Structure 1
């Protein structure tokens, strides 16, 4: 039993049928969860130990690391039934869209820090760190994932390249 099948087996009916219809989305979200952990760990490590005065730079680097992992996982698992493009063309589109995604992911943190000035000395260190986490890791991640889900299906792995699989025996 695969990870997705095991996960689907835990979902009660009638929600299971809907989840099965949206297997690709579930896989995409699982990849997103994995890369969110990678992004969060890299962001926090960079922000605390290396780039303490440059949180946006730390966020951009973290998103880039997570994006490289995301390409491999999405290509080989989430969207494996799609194809048709040459690998270099597909990768170029993926990283172009992901580059735009970096801006989408980072924008909430930038707004939090530099528009709302949720940073020291205007707010306490605790407020600054909490705001950075919410803006960068929650709001930014949700906005970026929504954008990437739409763009990947529209441009990188579009419907016309779906490889139909035979029904399970």
Structure 2
């Protein structure tokens, strides 16, 4: 028995039914959580070492590596019951959607740094670090997650490929 099944067996029926109805969203959220840690680890490893003065560059590298992990995990687990496209076409669509999501991820932090000017020397380094964390790691990632879930379900891993193609036309 899997850990997930063990946990589901201990929940009241009404909660279990809701979780089962939304299992794709929950799996997507779990992948998102895992890749958030990948992204965060990479961003801060780079910001504390070789990219101290380039927080957006560090963010872009973190998002890129987390996106690659996200494709593999979403393809093999979250949306494993969907698809039907040839793998190379599906991967191209995934990375196109993720490319747009990278832009979505960067927008809140760019606004924080360049519109509100929350950066050194105007503010202290801890203030900039906190603003970068909130705007990049929380707001940016949440906005991109909503966008990705919608786009992945609709375009990359459609339930029925023929229906999805008709919707696009």
Aligned counterpart, 1:69:
69
- Between the aligned partners of 2:106 and 2:10, the Cα distance in structure 1 is 35
| 1:43-82 → structure 2 map (5 Å cutoff) | 43-82=43-82
1:97 maps to 2:97: yes
Unmatched tracts of structure 2, length 5 or more? 163-169
Q: Cα offset for 1:109?
A: 0.8
Q: Kindly state the Cα deviation for residue 100 of structure 1 after the two structures are TM-superposed.
A: 0.3
How far 1:3 sits from its partner (Å)?
A: 4.4
Q: Does 1:153 align with 2:153?
A: yes
Kindly tell me: are residues 136 and 3 of structure 1, through their superposed partners in 2, closer, same or farther at Cα, counting changes over 3 Å? farther
For the Cα contact (< 8 Å) 1:47–1:55, is it kept in 2?
Answer: yes
Asked whether 1:40 is paired with 2:70, we answer no
Counterparts of 1:82 and 1:3, CA distance in 2: 23
Given that residues 104 and 144 in structure 2 are in contact (C-alpha distance below 8 angstroms), is that contact kept between their aligned partners in structure 1?
A: yes
Q: Could you tell me how far apart the structure 2 residues matched to 1:10 and 1:42 are?
A: 36
8 Å CA contact retained: 1:4, 1:27: no
1:134 to 1:2, Cα distance in 2 relative to 1, 3 A: same
CA deviation string 1:51-93 (max 9, x = no partner): 1111111101100000000000000000001121000000000
Q: Distance in 2 between matches of 1:58 and 1:11?
A: 41
Q: Per-residue deviation at 1:161?
A: 3.9
Against the structure 1 CA distance between its residues 114 and 9, is the aligned structure 2 distance closer, same or farther, given a 3 Å change threshold?
Answer: farther
1:119, 1:128 within 8 Å by CA — same for their partners in 2? yes
TM-score, with normalisation over the residues of structure 2?
0.90
Gaps of 5+ in 1: 163-169
- Residue 24 of structure 1: aligned partner: 24
Aligned residue-pair number? 162
The 2-side partners of 1:50 and 1:7 are apart by 43
- TM-score for the superposition, normalised by structure 1: 0.90
Q: Once the two structures are superposed, what CA deviation does each residue of 1:19-40 show, in whole Å capped at 9, x if it has no partner?
A: 1100111100000000000000
In the alignment, structure 1 residue 121 sits paired with structure 2 residue 130: no
